[in-house]
Amino acid sequence: MGGAAGAPPFNGMSDLALENALSRRTSRRRIRAFDAAVLALTMLGLWQAIGSWTNGVAVSPPLQTLVYLFGLLRTWMFWDHAAATLEAFLLAFALSALIGLALGLIFGVRRFAGEVAEPILAGFYTIPKVTLYPVVLLVFGLGMSAKVAFGVMHGLVPMTLFTLGAVRSLPPVLIRTARVLRLSPGRTMRWVLVPACLPAIVDGLRISFSLSLLGVLIGEMFSSQRGLGFLLVNGMAQHNVPLSTAVVTVIVAVAIAANTLMLRLGGRTARRPT
């Protein structure tokens, strides 16, 4: 999608023709910007409609939410909760990413182990992990460790699977080259495997990011007195609709922003010459 980077597709064309081709691309970009604006307005409109139609019982309308949000951002309470979520999330994400990366590399390189493990991991990915929450609560109790456990429970497996897939689709000649150069396993991983698999790893990080966040939020909903997830549930329990809507807005905005950022990053690593 979008204009391809690199040489223009019309070889041997006159300058005028090339100009025409480029102007067609800019006008396409303009159309896309217009469509995006229309979409954004439609979604806002829908939000407003639902908000006013339900008399603010389900959602509070956009403007009201925005006003409330600005007020909320100025309270110490909000940032306290946000910090709690951030702390748990960073820990969960780091654990998921590092352990997932390590496991993925091991399973990718050790083919047999990888083949044994992959369906098990893929199977774990498809089951409703919500049914395991009570177990996590029983094992970890309430509080931070349960939240982080939830996060890791969601974020670890995708990271492992993505990395595993990346290593498996590596051209074998790279590993042979590493062997010929007599690199130690650690160096093979650091100097050959990881750089070559980087685009897929970044993709895995992106998914793991979203899922670790999801896990932490769910954990907060069940087992914590602090954090944005708790704030959301609390808002619902107290029928404080502007609060819950505002929290949802913050979560959605952060999630999409982070995802878009990682998509861009991933795209750039993909194009970088190895």
Partner 1 sequence: MSEQTHVALNEVVRRFDGPPTVHALGPIDLVIRRGEFFSIVGPSGCGKSTLLDVLCGLVRPTSGSIQFEGRELRGEVPDGIGVVFQEDSSMPWLSVRQNVAFGLRTSGLPEREVRERVDHAVSFMGLAQFADHYPAQLSGGMRQRVCIARTLVLRPRLILLDEPFGALDQQTRLLMGDELLRLWRETGATVLLITHALDEAAMLSDRVGVMSARPGRFIDTVETGWLRDRDSRIVSDPKFGTLTARLWSSLREESLKAMGRAA
Partner 2 sequence: MTQRRAVLLVRIAVLAGLVALLEICCRTGIIDPLTVIPPSDMIASMVDHVGSGELNESIVRTFSTIALAFVLAIGCGTLAGALVHRSPRLRDVADPLLASYYSVPTFIFYPLLVALLGLGKAPLVVLGVLSAAPAVMISTLSGLDGVSPVLMKIARVHRLSPGRTLWWIVLPAAMPRLFTGFKLALSYALIGVIAGEFILSGTGLGYAISFAYQSFDNRAMYGLMLFVLLVAVIANGILYVWEGRLARRRSTG
For residue 239, which phi and psi values (nearest 5 degrees)? 55, 30
Nearest distance from C-beta of residue 18 to partner 1, angstroms: 8
Q: At what angle do helices 241-271 and 194-223 cross, to 10 degrees?
A: 170
Smaller CB separation from partner 1, 20 or 169:
20
Q: Which does 132 bind (CB under 5 to 8 A by kind): partner 1, partner 2, none?
A: partner 2
Provide the binding-site residues for partner 2, judged by CB under 8 A: 1-2, 28, 31-32, 35-36, 39, 50, 54, 57-59, 112, 115-116, 119-120, 122-123, 125-135, 137-139, 206-207, 209-210, 213-214, 217-218, 221, 232, 236, 244, 248, 251-252, 255-256, 258-260, 263
Interface with partner 1 (CB under 8 A):
10-14, 16-18, 20-21, 23-24
For residue 238, the minimal CB distance to partner 2 (Å) is 12
CB of 20 to partner 1, least distance (A): 4
Among partner 2, partner 1, none, partner that 192 touches (CB below 5 to 8 angstroms by kind): none
Closest CA to 219 of 136, 104, 112: 136
Residue 23 carries which DSSP code?
H
Strand extents, DSSP E, 86-143: none
Question: Residue 10 CB, nearest distance to partner 2 (Å)?
Answer: 19
| DSSP character at residue 130 | G
The residue (of 22 and 43) whose beta carbon lies closer to partner 1 is 22
Phi and psi torsions of 58, nearest 5°: -95, -55
Cα 243 to Cα 251: distance, rounded to the nearest angstrom? 12
Sequence-distant (6+) residues with CB within 8 A of 42 are none
C-alpha distance from residue 155 to each of 56, 113, 148 (Å): 35, 21, 10
> Which partner from the list partner 1, partner 2, none does 135 bind, CB cut-off 5 to 8 Å by kind?
partner 2
